[in-house]
Structure 1
Amino acid sequence: MAAPALSVEQQISQLNDARKLVLQDANFYPQIIQGILPIIGPSARVEFRRWGADFLAETFASPHVPAQQKETLGLVVLETLRSMIEDPAEDSAVVKSVVQTAASIYPLVVRWIINNPYDGPTWDRMIAIKSRILRMWDSATIGVRICCIKFAQRVVLVQTAGPEADPKRGNPFEVSLTMVPQNHPLLAPRNLEAEASGLLDRMLGVFQENISDALLIDATLNSLSILIRARPHLANKILTVILNFNPLKQANSPMTPKLRVMVKSMEKTTRMLLIHVNKRDPQNPLAGRIHQYIERMMRSKTEIFDEFNRKRGPPEPVDGLDPAKRQKLVAQVNTSPQNRLHIPPLTPGSHTVAELFTITTDEALKAFDVAMLSEDLVVKIGITILQRINTDTLNQAVDGVRQRYQTVFAPQLVEGINPETAPLGVDDDDDDYDPDFYNAEDTEQIMNKLDNAPPEQEEAVARAPEVALGPFTLPPPPPITPEQATQIGQATVSRVFGNMQTLEEPGKKSKSGMNRLAASAYDRDAWITIITRLATRASAGLENQPEPMKEEHPNSASPSLSNTIRDFLYLYVLEDFRKRIDVAVAWLCEEWYNDQVKMKSGDDAVLHYEKWVIKVLDGIVPYLDARDKVLTRFLSEIPGLSIDVLARVKSLCRDPAMVDLALKSLLYLVMMRPPVREIALDAVEDVWNTSSDDDAKPMAAKFLTRWRPGFAERLKGPEDDEKKANGIAAA
């Protein structure tokens, strides 16, 4: 049966997961981009096209992706970008991201064409994209036009001559007109330079035309700042046009709030650009003119906006009264009885929340239904009132509502005296009441009152038994079978090992050495410590069962949790034993320690160390290389060595390429582990006795001669007999 189709939200969620992956590791960008190109094509849904265009713009603007890789990926996505931008009905958000991506890719494509002049189709695609962007520059939405300005700036940077590159400070991947050879079949330097000059004039035209859009002017100024810094020979032309631009020219029109914000934005962006130009190069020829322009602009701004404030009258105090007169006026306000807010108390009885917070005495205003107003209008009215309300008046209103609340609701929270059982002469409101000074009624008095009570009261008393809630307990969970428990345990162990695959490898951060606590951090070593101790210590004492229970059948369908963890550890080590040999050593050290403790507690304990050492060794020996040092490290770090373990090492001597590795590992044990020196020498001598390899016998004899003094005399005996036999044969 076919799998159900995923919804758009689910597919977008999967795409976002892929984006998170490449943000963590930039090496996955090629695979992800190759995978999403069929999904974000022109025939895809608009949601996928928007996501894909945004992802491509983010990819080619990311500093974490190398320039060489961006160049390769740019050639891959070029056709997709062309098909998106040439669609006249394309979504404006998609077009905006495509133009941003094209601005990032253009220098990379030009560099590729410079080095590969045979690739004409790639340059044709880039020319088509550039032509489409320049055609829509003046007619697109404001967001797309701003992106077109950025694209034009990149084209001017690439197609103009840059300063001489400094290998110490310059960018080795910067592209300029000086890189294009004169006889290039696809790129003509004169045509490129003429096009760049025309685009620069088109960018500067926004200051010479009667354009009132502050967004376009600010975007152009921000793009020109990079051209001034990167192309010094264009700086004078650009600065001359900017110095002839007056951002305050539109202030002569009727000053609306929107126009006021736009004029301030254009003036500030222009001023900050010129200030930074003077800071970077105080000796430039236009420095004096720039300084005069800035001062004139600041004076004009002050005059215009001060005149605007004078027409509107003095500014109102924002937070109450003027600070210079606050003390005197506040005293007048506080002492004036007519400014005191009168909040009538609530009448006895039940009241609604609306009546609690209603402080006006106007009946017509009380009857007005606020629900008739729209939500936006209520918000505006509330914000205006909160901005202009007197602080003292607001405090009075809050105090009045607080007093109402205390008067109406507070007595309900205090348990009064029962009038039926209270002693005579005591009032409920008497604050000096002390029960120690009166005798409580005895049982006979209470029974007399009940006898004289009306029948309804007697029935009510009879119907009022004491109610006591019993303890509440949750129902017990349903029992699970041993097979279910085993499956749950295996799934848990599998998830833990899956989590370990994503953790940091050891050696990438500093360790605390022997002083660190076990599992004190959420790194790989901490999880290894937890897992190995779960495998070795969690079941301590549980395996010492009667004989029928202790034996585990090899094909048992429900192995213990400890053995399940051991199997997972074994497979985890063998997946990459060269990097995870430390995991194997840590695990086997725990097994050895556990076996030692169990041997002290009893004779019939189940031991695991020897079994798993041999199993791990059998797993890694077939994949060893003659230059591997993993075997030597493994044999030197595991806590115990036996004859069976060394027999696996001896078996390597059957392969002539592995003789050197096996014998050097045994020699290391002889030199560095005195407790196992004798069995290691026995293994070497066994190699000398049984090996037929010409390289193994001389090397083994060399080691034995040094470490076993009696071996040299035994070695001479057979050599003398051989010499005598050779002499007799010669005679």
Structure 2
Amino acid sequence: MNAQTLQQLESARSLALGDGSYYPTIIPGVLPIIEYSPENQSIELQRWGADFIAEAFASPTWPPDAKENVASSVLPTLKGFLEYVEDKSVIKSVVQAAASVYPLVYRHTISHPHDARDWEIMSAIKANILRRMDTAAPGIRICCIKFLQRVVLVQTPGIVDPRRPDHSDISLALVSRDHPIIPYASLEAEGHGLLDRLLDIIHGDHSDGLVITATLNSLGMLIHRRPIAANKILSSLFKFNPLKLGNAPMTSKNKVVIKSIERTTRALMMNIMKRNPENQINGRIQQYLEHMHRGRVELFDESSRKRPAPAEPTDGLDQAKRQRVAAQAPISAPTVHPLPPGPVSWRQLYTLDPNGSTVNFDVQAFKDPEQLLRILVPVLQSVDAQKLDHAINIVRSRYLSLSHAAKQAAAQSATGPAAEDEEEYEPDFEPEDAEQIVNRLDGLPATDHPYQSGPPTALAPYKLPEAPPLSEQEVQKYGDQTVYRAFGMLSSVDENQKTKITKSGFNRLAATDYGRDAWITILSRLATRANAGLDDPDEGIKDEYAVKRAKGSLSISEAVRDGLYDYIIHDWKRRIDVAISWLNEEWYNDQILAQSSKSTKNGVNGHTSSDTTGNYQRCALRMFDGILGFVEHTDKILLRFLSEIPALDHEILSRLKTMAKDPERIDLACTSLQYLYMFRPPVRTMVVDTLADMWQENDRAKPSAGKLLRKWRPEVLGEERSTTPAVKSEGDGQLAKESANGALEVKAAS
């Protein structure tokens, strides 16, 4: 009967493996057959059933929503297996199935707060598994570690961001604070307690390497998906010693266990650094890896290392037994034959051995110069450096002696025959060192060549051939490469290095010490002033974010603007001063071009500064929209950005209305508008208009916006303006003071 039943169950299993949509139909029919009962104690059926449930809920072809509807039906079966069956294979499969079912039951309980039965059964299963953590067989303990990892993932908060919701991540963030069945505080405390229990495993007994490596493998996902627990896990890993078994007897098993744990730890740390290359903790991870590598080398290479040479001679009287540490013996200088009397040719000057085999060798036999180079270069590389230097010094000394003899002969012929009777002092030749020879050669006139025969020939003027003209695509390519190298230079400069500016304002020198600020000024002016006045003033900008150049365009300004934008967005909080400097340069350039256009046209066509198309507004809007998605409710640096950019309009301030749609950032938007109203009087009307629109369009922002409108424009709220002058309350003054102090703190910090 069991064999026939197993055959039918295998057929159903094969059908479900082919198409996951059959699982909701097959599982209700299979559960009565496989569940434990006094009448049904077949271990084969129980093993098959546990494997089938674990396989079904781990299948990627079955949607999670469908799994959640069926998860509650398998809970009694899993609980019965854990309570009455002691077979290791069954327990391992049940624990794996519980790890897959736990998040589904958790989410079902959140959405059905009055259905407590499933959560009670799941809690009993969890308690049973946790009791087996320290006493079960190694295979079961590995499965329990997987279940423990899943519970920690579920019962710790994930990334809470309403702008980027992740519906597939089941975490503590889905639970309300007042849930009747699963209280938030209890789940969070239990999750952190289970994480501590998981970390205690790697600091315990290392005799079972499989359990340690399984724990290390489970920590990687926790670091990636739960940033709130990443620091705690990394702190525990830095205290972890993968070579702990090195103090025990070094058996073959211990060697394998140590190498396995060490490789798993190294892989985990390397993956952490690769996932976030710019993390500040990567330097500490690198130190940990180097320390672990040195410990491994000392542990495993000590036994196989040969006995080193003794530091001192073993016998002070026996020089042959001393370690040879002296310098190499000096190379004996070859015998140099003297020059023959009479005129000397260039060949004789450079020939050191007239009896050598290469004296009569004719180099002109090589018709192909490339073939000669292929022979000559390896020969020169094989020549000993000391011998070559010695030969060069000999040739130099010959040249100097012949030059000196030619000068004496010329002077003797000029003084007449009487000078021939004088006895000349001719010292013996002593070789000079290289520095003296070079100094004497430098003192000789350029045209003094005693061996030159014939009149000197004048060199013909040489002119490099003109380069072929570049196409528009090549000009575009080389321009982009130049901009890329400039920003690479900027990235290599220390951001903490400040430029010493001796003259402030727009007319200051762009670069004085080539620091970070100097490069920023150069690139900003390259983007704004490089082609100032060359563009068509009547050419409008079709798109608000039209920062990309058209095909074939040779303007380098937009390439620099794109590079500046990417550089700032990469770390906008620390580089907000770069954004402000860039936008100031854009505004200044637009004003200069507007004045130039107005003076050129002389008002004939009615053009003013506002009619001229500028780059400041679109760059400011692009930068504001770029950082808007990353601004948190505590980022007071937004106040500095809004206060220091040169011009504001309704379109820029409308972005604050967009930011106020996030409930967490309503207060920041209202504080920014209040700060602008108090410290930038020209934009007060636009600020109040923005607050009025926010009060009318955003219900959540009405309380915060209404407080400000009640003082500045009460008619929007339907209230009559008081005839008595409004007196600024102490609380408002304190708020304004805090806003100003916050902006000053941000400016000082950056």
Give the shorter-chain TM-score range: 0.3 to 0.5
* TM-score for both structures, normalised by structure 2: 0.40
* TM-score for both structures, normalised by structure 1: 0.41
Structure whose CA Rg is larger: 1
